[in-house]
Structure 1
Amino acid sequence: MADRPGGTLAAYRALLGAQARSQAAYRVSFVVDLVGNVGATVFDVVTVLALFGVTRELGGFTLRETLVMVGLTACAFATADLLVGNIERIPRYVRTGTLDAVLLRPLGALPQLLLMDLPLRKVSRALFGLAVWVVAVASAGVDWTPGRALLVVVAPLAGVVFFGSIFVAAATVSFFWVESGELANSLTYGGRDFTSYPVTVYGGWFRGLFAYGLGFAFVSYHPALALLGRADPLGLPAWTGWAAPGVALVAAAAAALAWRFGIRHYRSTGS
Protein backbone atom coordinates (compact mmCIF):
# COMPACT_ATOMS: atom_id res chain seq x y z
CA MET A 1 0.00 0.00 0.00
CA ALA A 2 2.85 2.39 0.83
CA ASP A 3 4.25 2.01 -2.73
CA ARG A 4 1.15 3.40 -4.45
CA PRO A 5 0.73 7.16 -4.91
CA GLY A 6 -0.74 8.45 -1.68
CA GLY A 7 -0.35 5.02 -0.13
CA THR A 8 2.01 6.20 2.60
CA LEU A 9 -0.38 8.92 3.72
CA ALA A 10 -3.26 6.44 3.63
CA ALA A 11 -1.28 4.06 5.81
CA TYR A 12 -0.63 6.80 8.37
CA ARG A 13 -4.33 7.73 8.32
CA ALA A 14 -5.21 4.10 8.93
CA LEU A 15 -2.89 3.94 11.94
CA LEU A 16 -4.39 7.11 13.38
CA GLY A 17 -7.93 5.93 12.71
CA ALA A 18 -7.29 2.61 14.40
CA GLN A 19 -5.93 4.39 17.47
CA ALA A 20 -8.90 6.76 17.63
CA ARG A 21 -11.41 3.91 17.35
CA SER A 22 -9.68 1.73 19.95
CA GLN A 23 -9.29 4.53 22.50
CA ALA A 24 -12.87 5.76 22.07
CA ALA A 25 -14.41 2.27 22.15
CA TYR A 26 -15.08 2.52 25.88
CA ARG A 27 -16.62 5.96 26.02
CA VAL A 28 -16.99 6.37 29.77
CA SER A 29 -13.39 5.37 30.36
CA PHE A 30 -12.24 7.70 27.59
CA VAL A 31 -14.17 10.66 29.05
CA VAL A 32 -12.75 9.94 32.51
CA ASP A 33 -9.24 9.92 31.01
CA LEU A 34 -9.93 13.22 29.24
CA VAL A 35 -11.00 14.87 32.48
CA GLY A 36 -8.21 13.31 34.52
CA ASN A 37 -5.48 14.44 32.16
CA VAL A 38 -6.22 18.10 32.81
CA GLY A 39 -4.99 17.67 36.36
CA ALA A 40 -1.26 17.93 35.63
CA THR A 41 -1.57 21.32 33.94
CA VAL A 42 -3.99 22.58 36.58
CA PHE A 43 -1.45 21.65 39.24
CA ASP A 44 1.28 23.64 37.47
CA VAL A 45 -0.90 26.75 37.48
CA VAL A 46 -2.03 26.26 41.08
CA THR A 47 1.61 25.89 42.18
CA VAL A 48 2.45 29.32 40.77
CA LEU A 49 -0.64 30.86 42.37
CA ALA A 50 0.37 29.34 45.70
CA LEU A 51 3.85 30.86 45.44
CA PHE A 52 2.36 34.30 44.87
CA GLY A 53 0.22 33.79 47.92
CA VAL A 54 3.35 34.41 50.00
CA THR A 55 5.24 36.87 47.76
CA ARG A 56 4.44 39.77 45.47
CA GLU A 57 7.23 39.09 42.97
CA LEU A 58 9.08 36.05 41.70
CA GLY A 59 12.49 36.76 40.23
CA GLY A 60 11.43 40.36 39.69
CA PHE A 61 8.15 39.50 37.93
CA THR A 62 4.56 39.98 39.06
CA LEU A 63 1.88 37.31 39.04
CA ARG A 64 0.37 38.48 35.73
CA GLU A 65 3.79 38.56 34.07
CA THR A 66 4.71 35.12 35.39
CA LEU A 67 1.38 33.68 34.25
CA VAL A 68 2.30 34.64 30.68
CA MET A 69 5.30 32.30 30.97
CA VAL A 70 3.23 29.63 32.68
CA GLY A 71 0.53 29.85 30.00
CA LEU A 72 3.02 29.68 27.15
CA THR A 73 4.74 26.66 28.67
CA ALA A 74 1.44 24.93 29.45
CA CYS A 75 0.16 25.42 25.91
CA ALA A 76 3.39 24.39 24.18
CA PHE A 77 4.31 21.44 26.37
CA ALA A 78 0.82 19.92 26.54
CA THR A 79 0.48 20.06 22.75
CA ALA A 80 3.96 18.59 22.20
CA ASP A 81 3.19 15.86 24.74
CA LEU A 82 0.00 15.03 22.85
CA LEU A 83 1.69 14.87 19.44
CA VAL A 84 5.14 13.51 20.29
CA GLY A 85 5.24 12.59 23.97
CA ASN A 86 4.53 8.89 23.48
CA ILE A 87 7.99 8.54 21.91
CA GLU A 88 9.18 8.25 25.52
CA ARG A 89 7.88 4.67 25.38
CA ILE A 90 10.67 3.70 23.02
CA PRO A 91 12.71 1.95 25.74
CA ARG A 92 9.87 -0.55 26.05
CA TYR A 93 9.68 -0.94 22.26
CA VAL A 94 13.42 -1.62 22.13
CA ARG A 95 13.32 -4.03 25.05
CA THR A 96 10.37 -6.06 23.70
CA GLY A 97 11.49 -6.05 20.07
CA THR A 98 8.50 -3.98 18.90
CA LEU A 99 10.88 -1.52 17.25
CA ASP A 100 12.23 -4.33 15.05
CA ALA A 101 8.76 -4.90 13.62
CA VAL A 102 8.32 -1.17 13.02
CA LEU A 103 11.61 -0.99 11.09
CA LEU A 104 10.53 -3.84 8.79
CA ARG A 105 7.55 -1.88 7.47
CA PRO A 106 7.93 0.34 4.37
CA LEU A 107 7.05 3.44 6.38
CA GLY A 108 9.02 5.99 8.37
CA ALA A 109 9.89 4.67 11.82
CA LEU A 110 9.23 7.91 13.70
CA PRO A 111 5.74 8.59 12.25
CA GLN A 112 4.77 4.99 12.98
CA LEU A 113 5.90 5.21 16.58
CA LEU A 114 4.06 8.48 17.09
CA LEU A 115 0.80 7.21 15.56
CA MET A 116 0.74 3.66 16.90
CA ASP A 117 0.01 4.80 20.45
CA LEU A 118 -1.14 8.43 20.10
CA PRO A 119 -2.60 9.43 23.51
CA LEU A 120 -5.81 11.14 22.41
CA ARG A 121 -6.83 11.43 26.06
CA LYS A 122 -4.28 14.26 26.32
CA VAL A 123 -6.34 16.46 23.99
CA SER A 124 -8.05 17.93 27.05
CA ARG A 125 -4.69 18.91 28.55
CA ALA A 126 -3.65 20.65 25.34
CA LEU A 127 -6.95 22.55 25.18
CA PHE A 128 -6.63 23.58 28.81
CA GLY A 129 -3.07 24.74 28.18
CA LEU A 130 -4.32 26.85 25.28
CA ALA A 131 -7.01 28.35 27.52
CA VAL A 132 -4.42 29.25 30.17
CA TRP A 133 -2.30 30.94 27.49
CA VAL A 134 -5.23 32.97 26.16
CA VAL A 135 -6.35 34.08 29.64
CA ALA A 136 -2.79 34.93 30.70
CA VAL A 137 -2.16 37.10 27.64
CA ALA A 138 -5.56 38.77 27.87
CA SER A 139 -5.00 39.74 31.52
CA ALA A 140 -1.35 40.84 31.17
CA GLY A 141 -2.08 44.29 29.76
CA VAL A 142 -0.06 43.77 26.58
CA ASP A 143 0.51 46.91 24.49
CA TRP A 144 -0.51 45.35 21.20
CA THR A 145 1.42 45.89 17.99
CA PRO A 146 1.32 43.86 14.76
CA GLY A 147 4.57 42.17 15.80
CA ARG A 148 3.25 41.15 19.20
CA ALA A 149 -0.01 39.92 17.66
CA LEU A 150 2.09 37.66 15.44
CA LEU A 151 4.32 36.57 18.32
CA VAL A 152 1.36 35.50 20.45
CA VAL A 153 0.59 32.90 17.77
CA VAL A 154 4.12 31.98 16.70
CA ALA A 155 5.63 31.60 20.18
CA PRO A 156 3.40 28.65 21.24
CA LEU A 157 4.01 26.93 17.90
CA ALA A 158 7.75 27.39 18.32
CA GLY A 159 7.42 25.98 21.83
CA VAL A 160 5.62 22.91 20.49
CA VAL A 161 8.43 22.30 17.99
CA PHE A 162 11.08 22.85 20.67
CA PHE A 163 9.53 20.51 23.24
CA GLY A 164 8.78 17.95 20.52
CA SER A 165 12.43 18.06 19.51
CA ILE A 166 13.49 17.50 23.12
CA PHE A 167 11.18 14.48 23.36
CA VAL A 168 12.66 12.95 20.20
CA ALA A 169 16.29 13.76 20.98
CA ALA A 170 16.01 12.39 24.51
CA ALA A 171 14.34 9.21 23.23
CA THR A 172 17.23 8.42 20.88
CA VAL A 173 19.43 7.68 23.88
CA SER A 174 17.38 4.48 24.27
CA PHE A 175 19.00 3.07 21.12
CA PHE A 176 22.24 2.84 23.08
CA TRP A 177 21.06 2.79 26.71
CA VAL A 178 17.67 1.18 27.25
CA GLU A 179 17.33 2.28 30.88
CA SER A 180 17.59 5.98 30.01
CA GLY A 181 14.07 6.99 31.03
CA GLU A 182 15.09 9.15 33.99
CA LEU A 183 17.60 11.06 31.88
CA ALA A 184 14.93 11.73 29.25
CA ASN A 185 12.44 12.86 31.90
CA SER A 186 14.95 15.32 33.34
CA LEU A 187 15.05 17.06 29.96
CA THR A 188 11.37 16.86 29.00
CA TYR A 189 9.40 17.26 32.23
CA GLY A 190 12.31 19.02 33.88
CA GLY A 191 12.36 21.47 30.98
CA ARG A 192 8.63 22.06 31.38
CA ASP A 193 9.10 22.93 35.04
CA PHE A 194 12.11 25.13 34.26
CA THR A 195 10.25 27.19 31.66
CA SER A 196 7.23 27.73 33.93
CA TYR A 197 9.16 30.33 35.93
CA PRO A 198 11.30 33.37 35.06
CA VAL A 199 14.90 32.26 34.48
CA THR A 200 15.94 34.98 36.95
CA VAL A 201 14.94 32.67 39.81
CA TYR A 202 17.76 30.32 38.82
CA GLY A 203 21.45 31.03 39.05
CA GLY A 204 24.96 29.93 38.25
CA TRP A 205 25.81 27.04 35.96
CA PHE A 206 22.29 25.59 36.22
CA ARG A 207 20.72 28.65 34.59
CA GLY A 208 23.48 28.81 31.99
CA LEU A 209 23.05 25.15 31.05
CA PHE A 210 19.27 24.91 30.88
CA ALA A 211 18.36 28.44 29.86
CA TYR A 212 20.97 29.03 27.16
CA GLY A 213 23.02 25.87 26.70
CA LEU A 214 19.89 23.84 25.97
CA GLY A 215 17.77 26.81 24.86
CA PHE A 216 14.88 26.59 27.32
CA ALA A 217 14.96 30.34 27.98
CA PHE A 218 13.62 30.91 24.46
CA VAL A 219 10.49 28.83 25.06
CA SER A 220 8.64 31.20 27.38
CA TYR A 221 10.92 33.66 29.18
CA HIS A 222 12.19 35.71 26.24
CA PRO A 223 8.91 35.63 24.24
CA ALA A 224 7.13 36.81 27.41
CA LEU A 225 9.57 39.72 27.75
CA ALA A 226 8.86 40.73 24.14
CA LEU A 227 5.09 40.56 24.65
CA LEU A 228 5.26 42.52 27.89
CA GLY A 229 7.66 45.09 26.50
CA ARG A 230 10.11 44.48 29.34
CA ALA A 231 13.89 44.73 29.18
CA ASP A 232 15.74 41.57 30.16
CA PRO A 233 17.00 41.87 33.78
CA LEU A 234 19.94 39.68 32.69
CA GLY A 235 20.97 42.23 30.09
CA LEU A 236 20.31 40.33 26.85
CA PRO A 237 19.23 42.46 23.84
CA ALA A 238 15.56 42.92 22.98
CA TRP A 239 15.78 40.85 19.77
CA THR A 240 16.17 37.65 21.84
CA GLY A 241 12.45 37.87 22.54
CA TRP A 242 11.83 37.12 18.88
CA ALA A 243 14.36 34.30 18.56
CA ALA A 244 12.04 31.46 19.60
CA PRO A 245 11.23 30.24 16.03
CA GLY A 246 14.92 30.15 15.10
CA VAL A 247 15.87 28.28 18.27
CA ALA A 248 13.02 25.81 17.66
CA LEU A 249 14.25 25.13 14.12
CA VAL A 250 17.78 24.52 15.39
CA ALA A 251 16.40 22.13 18.01
CA ALA A 252 14.34 20.30 15.36
CA ALA A 253 17.39 19.93 13.10
CA ALA A 254 19.48 18.59 15.99
CA ALA A 255 16.73 16.14 16.97
CA ALA A 256 16.43 14.92 13.36
CA LEU A 257 20.17 14.30 13.17
CA ALA A 258 20.14 12.48 16.51
CA TRP A 259 17.21 10.31 15.41
CA ARG A 260 18.85 9.39 12.10
CA PHE A 261 22.10 8.54 13.90
CA GLY A 262 20.25 6.41 16.44
CA ILE A 263 18.23 4.50 13.84
CA ARG A 264 21.32 3.80 11.74
CA HIS A 265 23.26 2.46 14.71
CA TYR A 266 20.39 0.56 16.31
CA ARG A 267 21.05 -3.11 16.92
CA SER A 268 18.16 -5.49 17.51
CA THR A 269 17.60 -6.89 20.98
CA GLY A 270 17.26 -10.31 19.39
CA SER A 271 13.95 -10.93 21.17
Structure 2
Amino acid sequence: MADSLGARTRPYRAVLASRARSQRSYRASFAVDLASSMLVGVIELAEIWVLFHNVVELGGLEFSQILLVFGLADLCFSLADMTFGHCDNLPTYLRAGTLDVFYLRPQPLLLQLVTSDISLRRLARAAVGAVALVVGLTVNDIAWSPAHVLLLLVAIVSGYAMFAGMFVWAGGAQFFLVEGAETTNAFVYGGRYAATQPASVWNRPLWAVFGFFFPMAFTGFLPALWLLGVEAPLGLPDWVGWCAPVAAAWTWVMALVSWRLGVRHYQGGGG
Protein backbone atom coordinates (compact mmCIF):
# COMPACT_ATOMS: atom_id res chain seq x y z
CA MET A 1 0.00 0.00 0.00
CA ALA A 2 2.76 2.41 1.00
CA ASP A 3 4.84 1.48 -2.05
CA SER A 4 1.83 2.03 -4.32
CA LEU A 5 1.14 5.44 -2.79
CA GLY A 6 4.80 6.38 -3.10
CA ALA A 7 4.83 5.37 -6.76
CA ARG A 8 1.73 7.42 -7.52
CA THR A 9 3.07 10.54 -5.81
CA ARG A 10 6.64 10.24 -7.15
CA PRO A 11 6.03 12.43 -10.25
CA TYR A 12 4.50 15.19 -8.14
CA ARG A 13 7.33 15.05 -5.60
CA ALA A 14 9.89 15.19 -8.38
CA VAL A 15 8.30 18.32 -9.88
CA LEU A 16 8.08 20.06 -6.50
CA ALA A 17 11.70 19.17 -5.67
CA SER A 18 12.90 20.55 -9.01
CA ARG A 19 10.93 23.77 -8.45
CA ALA A 20 12.42 24.16 -4.97
CA ARG A 21 15.95 23.58 -6.26
CA SER A 22 15.50 26.09 -9.08
CA GLN A 23 14.36 28.78 -6.65
CA ARG A 24 17.33 28.17 -4.36
CA SER A 25 19.92 27.95 -7.15
CA TYR A 26 20.31 31.75 -7.37
CA ARG A 27 20.98 32.53 -3.74
CA ALA A 28 21.07 36.31 -3.98
CA SER A 29 17.77 36.44 -5.85
CA PHE A 30 16.22 33.95 -3.42
CA ALA A 31 17.39 36.02 -0.45
CA VAL A 32 15.83 39.16 -1.97
CA ASP A 33 12.57 37.27 -2.55
CA LEU A 34 12.55 36.11 1.07
CA ALA A 35 13.27 39.62 2.34
CA SER A 36 10.56 41.22 0.20
CA SER A 37 8.01 38.60 1.26
CA MET A 38 8.87 39.15 4.91
CA LEU A 39 8.62 42.91 4.44
CA VAL A 40 5.07 42.54 3.14
CA GLY A 41 4.11 40.56 6.23
CA VAL A 42 5.79 43.07 8.56
CA ILE A 43 3.99 45.98 6.86
CA GLU A 44 0.63 44.25 7.25
CA LEU A 45 1.35 43.64 10.92
CA ALA A 46 2.46 47.26 11.29
CA GLU A 47 -0.93 48.37 9.93
CA ILE A 48 -2.58 46.53 12.82
CA TRP A 49 -0.19 48.15 15.29
CA VAL A 50 -0.82 51.65 13.90
CA LEU A 51 -4.57 51.09 14.10
CA PHE A 52 -4.46 49.96 17.72
CA HIS A 53 -1.87 52.61 18.61
CA ASN A 54 -4.68 55.15 18.32
CA VAL A 55 -7.37 53.21 20.22
CA VAL A 56 -7.40 51.14 23.41
CA GLU A 57 -9.54 48.42 21.89
CA LEU A 58 -11.49 47.71 18.73
CA GLY A 59 -14.47 45.40 18.52
CA GLY A 60 -13.94 44.45 22.15
CA LEU A 61 -10.36 43.27 21.54
CA GLU A 62 -7.07 44.82 22.61
CA PHE A 63 -3.89 44.79 20.52
CA SER A 64 -2.48 41.74 22.31
CA GLN A 65 -5.68 39.82 21.56
CA ILE A 66 -5.93 40.86 17.91
CA LEU A 67 -2.29 39.81 17.58
CA LEU A 68 -3.48 36.25 18.19
CA VAL A 69 -6.18 36.64 15.54
CA PHE A 70 -3.66 38.07 13.06
CA GLY A 71 -1.11 35.35 13.79
CA LEU A 72 -3.56 32.52 13.24
CA ALA A 73 -5.06 33.92 10.03
CA ASP A 74 -1.81 35.17 8.50
CA LEU A 75 0.11 31.96 9.20
CA CYS A 76 -2.62 29.84 7.63
CA PHE A 77 -2.92 32.11 4.60
CA SER A 78 0.84 32.24 4.04
CA LEU A 79 1.14 28.45 4.09
CA ALA A 80 -1.83 28.10 1.72
CA ASP A 81 -0.40 30.80 -0.55
CA MET A 82 2.92 28.95 -0.67
CA THR A 83 1.35 25.66 -1.75
CA PHE A 84 -1.84 26.71 -3.60
CA GLY A 85 -1.24 30.37 -4.48
CA HIS A 86 0.15 29.55 -7.93
CA CYS A 87 -3.41 28.60 -8.92
CA ASP A 88 -3.47 32.33 -9.71
CA ASN A 89 -1.46 31.43 -12.83
CA LEU A 90 -4.45 29.63 -14.34
CA PRO A 91 -5.72 32.70 -16.31
CA THR A 92 -2.30 32.91 -17.97
CA TYR A 93 -2.48 29.26 -18.96
CA LEU A 94 -6.00 29.75 -20.30
CA ARG A 95 -5.10 32.80 -22.40
CA ALA A 96 -1.96 31.19 -23.79
CA GLY A 97 -3.64 27.83 -24.40
CA THR A 98 -0.90 26.05 -22.43
CA LEU A 99 -3.36 24.46 -20.03
CA ASP A 100 -3.96 21.80 -22.68
CA VAL A 101 -0.50 20.41 -21.92
CA PHE A 102 -1.78 19.29 -18.51
CA TYR A 103 -4.42 17.18 -20.24
CA LEU A 104 -1.72 15.14 -21.99
CA ARG A 105 -0.50 13.72 -18.68
CA PRO A 106 -2.27 10.80 -16.98
CA GLN A 107 -2.81 12.65 -13.70
CA PRO A 108 -5.75 14.68 -12.35
CA LEU A 109 -5.72 18.25 -13.66
CA LEU A 110 -6.15 19.93 -10.26
CA LEU A 111 -3.43 17.84 -8.63
CA GLN A 112 -1.07 18.67 -11.48
CA LEU A 113 -1.79 22.38 -11.12
CA VAL A 114 -1.33 22.37 -7.34
CA THR A 115 1.97 20.47 -7.53
CA SER A 116 3.30 22.39 -10.55
CA ASP A 117 5.09 24.89 -8.33
CA ILE A 118 5.80 25.89 -4.74
CA SER A 119 6.61 29.44 -3.63
CA LEU A 120 9.36 29.04 -1.04
CA ARG A 121 9.60 32.81 -0.58
CA ARG A 122 6.26 32.61 1.25
CA LEU A 123 8.09 30.89 4.10
CA ALA A 124 9.37 34.30 5.19
CA ARG A 125 5.86 35.70 5.30
CA ALA A 126 4.67 32.62 7.18
CA ALA A 127 7.43 33.30 9.71
CA VAL A 128 5.88 36.72 10.44
CA GLY A 129 2.52 35.09 11.10
CA ALA A 130 4.15 32.39 13.25
CA VAL A 131 5.98 34.97 15.37
CA ALA A 132 2.78 37.00 15.80
CA LEU A 133 0.94 33.83 16.82
CA VAL A 134 3.58 32.81 19.37
CA VAL A 135 3.68 36.32 20.84
CA GLY A 136 -0.12 36.44 20.95
CA LEU A 137 -0.26 33.11 22.77
CA THR A 138 2.41 34.27 25.20
CA VAL A 139 1.19 37.75 26.16
CA ASN A 140 -2.47 36.80 26.60
CA ASP A 141 -3.71 35.15 29.77
CA ILE A 142 -4.93 31.83 28.38
CA ALA A 143 -6.08 29.12 30.79
CA TRP A 144 -4.26 26.33 28.97
CA SER A 145 -5.75 22.86 28.94
CA PRO A 146 -5.65 19.90 26.52
CA ALA A 147 -8.79 21.34 24.88
CA HIS A 148 -7.00 24.65 24.22
CA VAL A 149 -4.03 22.88 22.62
CA LEU A 150 -6.38 20.77 20.51
CA LEU A 151 -8.37 23.79 19.32
CA LEU A 152 -5.17 25.61 18.38
CA LEU A 153 -4.06 22.68 16.21
CA VAL A 154 -7.54 22.30 14.72
CA ALA A 155 -7.68 26.04 13.95
CA ILE A 156 -4.31 26.00 12.14
CA VAL A 157 -5.13 22.94 10.02
CA SER A 158 -8.66 24.15 9.27
CA GLY A 159 -7.52 27.69 8.49
CA TYR A 160 -4.93 26.38 6.05
CA ALA A 161 -7.59 24.20 4.42
CA MET A 162 -10.00 27.13 4.11
CA PHE A 163 -7.51 29.42 2.39
CA ALA A 164 -6.32 26.58 0.14
CA GLY A 165 -9.94 25.92 -0.81
CA MET A 166 -10.38 29.61 -1.64
CA PHE A 167 -7.50 29.43 -4.12
CA VAL A 168 -9.07 26.37 -5.78
CA TRP A 169 -12.49 28.06 -5.84
CA ALA A 170 -10.94 31.10 -7.54
CA GLY A 171 -9.16 28.83 -10.04
CA GLY A 172 -12.44 27.17 -11.00
CA ALA A 173 -14.08 30.56 -11.48
CA GLN A 174 -11.31 31.62 -13.90
CA PHE A 175 -12.55 29.11 -16.49
CA PHE A 176 -15.56 31.41 -16.83
CA LEU A 177 -13.96 34.80 -16.10
CA VAL A 178 -10.51 34.36 -17.75
CA GLU A 179 -9.75 38.10 -17.49
CA GLY A 180 -11.52 38.55 -14.15
CA ALA A 181 -8.80 37.63 -11.65
CA GLU A 182 -9.44 40.89 -9.80
CA THR A 183 -12.98 39.71 -9.09
CA THR A 184 -11.89 36.54 -7.31
CA ASN A 185 -8.95 38.34 -5.66
CA ALA A 186 -11.47 40.56 -3.90
CA PHE A 187 -12.66 37.48 -2.04
CA VAL A 188 -9.39 35.52 -1.73
CA TYR A 189 -7.00 38.31 -0.74
CA GLY A 190 -9.79 40.49 0.59
CA GLY A 191 -10.83 37.52 2.69
CA ARG A 192 -7.29 37.26 4.07
CA TYR A 193 -7.39 40.90 5.07
CA ALA A 194 -10.82 40.48 6.66
CA ALA A 195 -9.60 37.39 8.54
CA THR A 196 -6.85 39.38 10.28
CA GLN A 197 -9.27 42.04 11.56
CA PRO A 198 -11.67 41.95 14.55
CA ALA A 199 -14.80 40.55 12.91
CA SER A 200 -16.89 41.94 15.78
CA VAL A 201 -16.89 45.33 13.98
CA TRP A 202 -18.36 43.87 10.78
CA ASN A 203 -21.91 44.72 9.81
CA ARG A 204 -24.36 41.96 8.94
CA PRO A 205 -23.67 41.99 5.15
CA LEU A 206 -19.96 41.47 5.83
CA TRP A 207 -20.77 38.65 8.23
CA ALA A 208 -22.92 37.05 5.54
CA VAL A 209 -20.04 37.18 3.04
CA PHE A 210 -16.84 36.71 5.08
CA GLY A 211 -18.36 35.18 8.16
CA PHE A 212 -20.38 32.33 6.72
CA PHE A 213 -20.42 32.08 2.90
CA PHE A 214 -16.64 32.52 2.67
CA PRO A 215 -16.00 31.56 6.32
CA MET A 216 -12.93 33.72 6.94
CA ALA A 217 -14.02 34.46 10.51
CA PHE A 218 -13.31 30.80 11.31
CA THR A 219 -9.65 31.03 10.25
CA GLY A 220 -8.59 33.14 13.21
CA PHE A 221 -11.20 35.31 14.89
CA LEU A 222 -13.71 32.78 16.25
CA PRO A 223 -11.13 30.17 17.40
CA ALA A 224 -9.14 32.97 19.05
CA LEU A 225 -12.19 34.13 20.97
CA TRP A 226 -12.59 30.67 22.51
CA LEU A 227 -8.90 30.52 23.39
CA LEU A 228 -9.15 33.96 25.03
CA GLY A 229 -12.44 33.25 26.77
CA VAL A 230 -14.12 36.20 25.02
CA GLU A 231 -17.82 36.11 24.18
CA ALA A 232 -18.62 35.65 20.50
CA PRO A 233 -20.57 38.45 18.72
CA LEU A 234 -24.05 38.31 17.22
CA GLY A 235 -25.25 35.98 19.95
CA LEU A 236 -23.18 33.10 18.53
CA PRO A 237 -22.56 30.24 20.97
CA ASP A 238 -19.22 30.03 22.77
CA TRP A 239 -18.33 26.75 21.03
CA VAL A 240 -18.64 28.22 17.52
CA GLY A 241 -14.83 28.38 17.26
CA TRP A 242 -14.79 24.57 17.23
CA CYS A 243 -16.76 24.63 13.97
CA ALA A 244 -13.64 25.55 11.96
CA PRO A 245 -13.43 22.02 10.44
CA VAL A 246 -17.05 22.34 9.31
CA ALA A 247 -16.24 25.71 7.73
CA ALA A 248 -13.20 24.14 6.01
CA ALA A 249 -15.37 21.33 4.64
CA TRP A 250 -17.90 23.86 3.32
CA THR A 251 -15.10 25.84 1.64
CA TRP A 252 -13.85 22.73 -0.13
CA VAL A 253 -17.36 21.83 -1.25
CA MET A 254 -17.56 25.24 -2.93
CA ALA A 255 -14.03 24.85 -4.30
CA LEU A 256 -14.59 21.43 -5.84
CA VAL A 257 -17.98 22.39 -7.29
CA SER A 258 -16.42 25.51 -8.81
CA TRP A 259 -13.52 23.49 -10.19
CA ARG A 260 -15.73 20.75 -11.61
CA LEU A 261 -18.02 23.25 -13.33
CA GLY A 262 -15.03 25.16 -14.68
CA VAL A 263 -13.35 22.08 -16.12
CA ARG A 264 -16.58 20.98 -17.79
CA HIS A 265 -17.01 24.47 -19.23
CA TYR A 266 -13.47 24.53 -20.69
CA GLN A 267 -13.36 23.66 -24.39
CA GLY A 268 -9.62 23.87 -24.98
CA GLY A 269 -7.21 26.58 -26.02
CA GLY A 270 -8.15 26.45 -29.68
CA GLY A 271 -5.66 26.90 -32.46
Normalising by the smaller structure, the TM-score range is over 0.9
Name the counterpart of 1:88: 88
For 2:138 and 2:150, how far apart are their aligned partners in 1?
Answer: 15
Aligned residue type for 1:132: A
For 2:235 and 2:20, how far apart are their aligned partners in 1?
Answer: 48
What is the Cα deviation at residue 78 of structure 1? 0.5
Q: How does 1:2-151 map to 2 (within 5 A)?
A: 6-151=6-151
Gaps of 5+ in 1: none
Aligned pairs, number = 268
TM-score by length of 1: 0.94
Q: Is the 8 A contact 1:8 1:107 kept in 2?
A: no
* Bigger mean CA deviation after superposition, 190-199 or 111-120: 111-120
Name the counterpart of 2:241: 241
Residue 166 of structure 2 is aligned to residue 166 of structure 1: yes
Q: Is the 8 A contact 1:162 1:251 kept in 2?
A: yes
Q: How does 1:255-270 map to 2 (within 5 A)?
A: 255-270=255-270
What is the Cα deviation at residue 223 of structure 1? 0.3
For 1:192 and 1:167, how far apart are their aligned partners in 2?
Answer: 11
Aligned residue type for 1:235: G
Gaps of 5+ in 2: none
For 2:155 and 2:6, how far apart are their aligned partners in 1?
Answer: 32
Q: Is the 8 A contact 1:68 1:136 kept in 2?
A: yes
TM-score by length of 2: 0.94
What is the Cα deviation at residue 6 of structure 1? 4.4
Aligned residue type for 2:243: A
Superposed structure 1 runs of 4+ greater than 4 Å apart: none
Question: What is the alpha-carbon root mean square deviation over aligned residues?
Answer: 1.5
* Bigger mean CA deviation after superposition, 202-211 or 92-101: 202-211
Aligned residue type for 2:255: A
For 2:216 and 2:33, how far apart are their aligned partners in 1?
Answer: 30
* Alpha-carbon spacing, 1:197–1:20, altered in 2? closer, same or farther (3 Å): same
Q: Is the 8 A contact 2:166 2:251 kept in 1?
A: yes
Q: Is the 8 A contact 1:80 1:164 kept in 2?
A: yes
* Bigger mean CA deviation after superposition, 248-257 or 83-92: 248-257
Aligned residue type for 1:32: V
For 1:16 and 1:117, how far apart are their aligned partners in 2?
Answer: 6
* Bigger mean CA deviation after superposition, 213-222 or 49-58: 213-222
For 1:25 and 1:217, how far apart are their aligned partners in 2?
Answer: 39
Aligned residue type for 1:195: A
Q: Is the 8 A contact 2:70 2:129 kept in 1?
A: no
For 1:103 and 1:176, how far apart are their aligned partners in 2?
Answer: 18
Name the counterpart of 1:207: 207
What is the Cα deviation at residue 213 of structure 1? 2.7
